[in-house]
Amino acid sequence: MSSPIKISDASFQSDVLNAKKPVLVDFWAEWCGPCRMIAPALEELAAELGDKVTIAKLNIDDNPTTPQKYGVRGIPTMMIFSQGQVAATKVGALPKSKIKEWIESSI
């Protein structure tokens, strides 16, 4: 059973941009209420969709470079990267069913 992987500015290239399958990156922070709200949904989706997509979490407080590079203004922001490019972006907390729908339509 897979769960979300923790990534950093340093590992972003290898974990996300060079990944063989699509990666959903959750840009989040400890102090963000909506981020904590979607965390259990992302845990479950990592287990359910782990063979199709990797779910990764990037703490924006500890890793400011990557969110800045991709223009992350509000959190939670979720981006799906495919073959090193941003394929889709969602900002804000969504119910698990909507996140799953969005992932499946984007990969």
Residue 92 known to be catalytic: no
Active-site residue (options: 16, 23, 25, 32): 32
Q: Does the annotation count 32 as an active-site position?
A: yes
Q: Which one is catalytic: 7, 25, 35, 99?
A: 35
Contact 99, 41 (CB under 8 A): yes
CA neighbours within 13 Å on the CB side: how many for 98?
8
List, in sequence order, every beta strand (DSSP E) within the chain: 5-7, 23-28, 54-59, 77-82, 85-91
**Looking at the chain, how many residues does it have?**
107
Task: Scan for tokens 């990267």, then name that residue.
Answer: 81
Helix (H) or strand (E) holding 34: helix 33-49
User: Which residues have a catalytic role annotated?
Assistant: 32, 35
